[in-house]
Amino acid sequence: MKNETAEERRTLVRETIAELLEVDVATVRGDCLLREDLGMDSLTSLELLSTLSRELQVDLEMEEAMEIVTVDDTVRFVERHLAV
Amino acid sequence: MADALGASVASGLEARSEAELTRLVAEVERALGVEVDALAHDRRGLLPRRLLDSVRQLGLFGASIPAEHGGLGLELVETCRIIATVARHDRSLATCVGLHNGLGATPLVSLGDDAQKRAWLPRLASGEVLASFAATEVGAGSDLSSVATTYDGALRVRGEKQYVTNGALAGLVTVLARARDERGGYALLTVPLPQDEVSIGAEERKLGLRASSTTSLAFEDARADALLGERGGGLHHAYTALAVGRTVLSAGCVGTAERALDATLEHVTRRRQFRRAIGEFGASRTHVSAMAARLYAMEAVVDEVARHPAHGALGAASVVAKVFCSEGAYEITDRALQLHGAMGVLEDVGISLLARDCRVTRIFEGANDVLLVHLGSEVLARGPSPRCHTQRRGPHAERWETAAGVLEATRERVKASLGVRAVERQDCLQALARAYIGLVASSCVLARADAEPELAELACSIGVDESLTQLASLHRAGSRVELERALTDELYACGRRWRWPASPAPRAPRKHIAA
Ligand SMILES: Cc1cc2nc3c(=O)[nH]c(=O)nc-3n(C[C@H](O)[C@H](O)[C@H](O)COP(=O)(O)OP(=O)(O)OC[C@H]3O[C@@H](n4cnc5c(N)ncnc54)[C@H](O)[C@@H]3O)c2cc1C
């Protein structure tokens, strides 16, 4: 998974969010606010990180979940963890 | 009578002190004692108009509304005392008044602009207009993010809401809806009623709270009067209002439990079997003291939570109060029912009404199962440590400290072994939440241990024991979770109706033939 391109990872994050919320992936744009636009709460954000940590086989810190505000933030967050 | 009481309520609140509040509560108690016949309201399935008029005159619909807008301007903790008093007499009435003051009025009080407040709050305060809050839909119950009701640029609301408390009585309903634009952000909107574009469904027939109005509301491009707070902030605003609503609901549970305990004390000291009052049996004493200890803890928790409704902090605290008090009221009314024997199930005695009325409190304003998962994830991710609200030392404070240490260690262990994937283990989250609730409750009790040392001792040890039991259960949770998953997968897949499972027929013992 670590070998995937940035674009593929971005798609994976968007698809994971769409699947979690049961919405059309087209509505999950990069600038979407997770809470205000997509209605995610802190528990759903943690569930998102949990799914991503499984899919991408990386350890993600749950304390950091609260700092993620947009879809793009989530992608950057995953990138940061893959880099280490 | 009610007029004079209304005046005394209003003047009594100008210089509020604990004594004033006690007097106010006593006066409300006296007025309701004369007028309220909860059993009759339950049978008829509605609250008499005359009773609602008396409540208006008492000023109770304005309890939480600021005095500058014609309300009593009570603090949350004082509103809670009033709602507990009302619930002692009639839970349906407490639900009507509590919802109006809590979820109904809160969004307008905290988010409305001056014009909105001037237009509506005085009418809400006098009770001329009753308030509702409509979030739930067919497809959006515990998961409010999936609401499908929408609004457009002209604030026209379209969609259908379910289970709206005060639905048939309300003159103003706060609706959770999504923008009909590309972003689809959430917002709270106030919709005045009646209007042709809103149809009110039939009254739901329910297990309890039968005299409280519960209806659906269908909006067909209904005109909203205002959008409260920020566009996009609707869910956040709804959660904030729910935190206030849950605190008020918890106070209602306290009132229900007080009534159940009062009735039980009277019954067990009068009813004789085996040549003595049934209250003298050891098993009855266990029931009664557990009821009293739990109730004492419930009051302590509501008092503490409602006194510190700091913005943001009420979220987790209100969940603690809601779960603890709704489960407590359920336990207490059930013990009351047991101790009443057959009389417990006779409708005219009133104990079964208490039990029926309180059951739904574990479901509405957030089903407890779901709230526990949320609270558990907070405990895990952010680690709010329960604070001990007392400097007192002694064996109870020490046991409390030990249990708090075990919670801390367990949290770290779960995080180290499961990482963020722990959020998929609802058993862990719920156990952490229950452990946390037990500790918060016993800490609130310790803080008022001077007043009732025996009650506090029992309540505190029950809370600490519950925490330790929950945390200990996690040591063997993994294999049990696997078993539960396998079993339920099988049950869901096979699609058969459950029947008494056939057990293998007992075999006849083999005869040993002597050689
Ligand atoms: C008398 C009454 C009055 C009400 N008044 C109002 C009102 O004024 N305004 C309003 O908006 N709503 C109101 N409601 C609705 C109430 O808030 C909802 O019923 C409640 O939020 C639960 O939603 P649901 O009934 O759809 O249950 P569901 O969401 O279907 O949940 C059913 C059960 O599924 C389980 N469950 C669901 N999700 C999870 C999860 N994530 N994790 C673990 N378990 C889960 C739980 O055991 C839960 O109890 C009222 C309801 C009643 C009965």
Considering the domain architecture, whether residues B327 and B362 belong to the same structural domain is answered as yes
* Whole-number Å distance between alpha carbons of B246 and B315: 9
Give bridge partners of residue B214 from the DSSP assignment.
B165
Considering the domain architecture, whether residues B400 and B331 belong to the same structural domain is answered as no
Integer angstrom CA distances of residue B12 from B16, B52, B61: 7, 22, 16
- Where residue B21 sits, what CATH number does that domain have? 1.10.540.10
pLDDT at B12: 38
Reported pTM: 0.92
Give bridge partners of residue B137 from the DSSP assignment.
B140
pLDDT(B38) > 50: yes
Q: Is residue B237 a contact partner of residue B107, using CB atoms and an 8 Å limit? A: yes
Cα within 13 Å of Cα(B457), Cβ side:
5
Distinct helix (H) and strand (E) counts, chain B: 18, 10
Tell whether B76 is covered by a domain.
yes
* Whole-number Å distance between alpha carbons of B205 and B215: 10
Helix, strand or coil, per DSSP, at residue B190: strand
Q: Tens digits of per-residue pLDDT, B327-349?
A: 999 999 999 999 999 999 999 99
* Whole-number Å distance between alpha carbons of B233 and B36: 40
Q: A24, A41, A72, A73: which is the annotated catalytic residue?
A: A41
The CA A64 to ligand 1 mean position distance, Å, reads: 30
pLDDT tens-place values along chain A, 84 residues long: 556 787 888 888 899 999 988 888 988 988 888 888 888 888 888 888 888 888 888 877 777 777 788 999 888 888 887 776
Q: Which of B307, B331, B304, B296 is nearest to B320 (CA)?
A: B304
Instruction: For chain B, report the end-to-end CA distance as a whole number of angstroms.
Output: 99
pLDDT at B389: 67
Query: In this structure, are strands B130-134 and B170-179 parallel, antiparallel, or unpaired?
Result: parallel
Closest ligand 1 atom to residue B167 Cα is 8
Token pair 């159940």 in the structure block, residue: B260
pLDDT at B504: 75
Ligand 1 pocket test target in B203, B210, B370, B429 with most atoms within 8 Å of CB: B370
Considering the domain architecture, whether residues B257 and B356 belong to the same structural domain is answered as yes
pLDDT at B24: 80
Lowest model confidence (mean pLDDT) among A37-51, B144-158, B384-398, B460-474: B384-398
Tell whether B377 is covered by a domain.
no
Tell whether B150 is covered by a domain.
yes
Considering the domain architecture, whether residues B220 and B270 belong to the same structural domain is answered as no
Tell whether B244 is covered by a domain.
yes
Set out the domains of chain A in order of their start, with CATH numbers: 6-83 (1.10.1200.10)
Considering the domain architecture, whether residues B348 and B391 belong to the same structural domain is answered as no
Considering the domain architecture, whether residues B348 and B255 belong to the same structural domain is answered as yes
Q: Tens digits of per-residue pLDDT, B117-130?
A: 999 999 999 999 99
- Nearest CB to A37 within list B183, B374, B421: B183
pLDDT at B61: 97
Q: Tens digits of per-residue pLDDT, B398-421?
A: 999 999 999 999 999 998 888 888
**Total count of domains within chain B:** 4
Pairwise CB contact (< 8 Å): A50 & B186: no
- Which residues are within 8 A (CB) of A50 and not within 5 positions of it... i.e. 6 or more apart? A60, B420, B421, B422, B423, B424
Residue of A nearest to B146 (CA): A39
Q: Six-digit token pair at B331?
A: 């336990």
Residue B423 touches partner A, C-beta closer than 8 Å: yes
- Where residue B144 sits, what CATH number does that domain have? 2.40.110.10
The CA B142 to ligand 1 mean position distance, Å, reads: 5
- Nearest CB to A50 within list B185, B374, B424: B424
pLDDT at B203: 98
Token pair 């005695």 in the structure block, residue: B349
Show the domain range for B84.
Answer: 2-126
Considering the domain architecture, whether residues B355 and B404 belong to the same structural domain is answered as no
Look at the alpha carbons of B467, B469, B471, B474 in this order and tell me if their dihedral is positive or negative.
negative
- Where residue B256 sits, what CATH number does that domain have? 1.20.140.10
Considering the domain architecture, whether residues B246 and B351 belong to the same structural domain is answered as yes
With bands split at pLDDT 50, 70 and 90, how would you rate the model's confidence at B110?
Answer: very high
If you write DSSP's letter for every residue of chain A in order, what string do you get?
A: -TTS-HHHHHHHHHHHHHHHHT--GGG--TT-BTTTTT---HHHHHHHHHHHHHHTT----GGGGGG--BHHHHHHHHHHHHH-
ipTM field = 0.83
pLDDT(B507) > 90: no
Q: Tens digits of per-residue pLDDT, B351-391?
A: 999 999 999 999 999 999 999 999 999 999 877 777 776 66
pLDDT at B498: 81
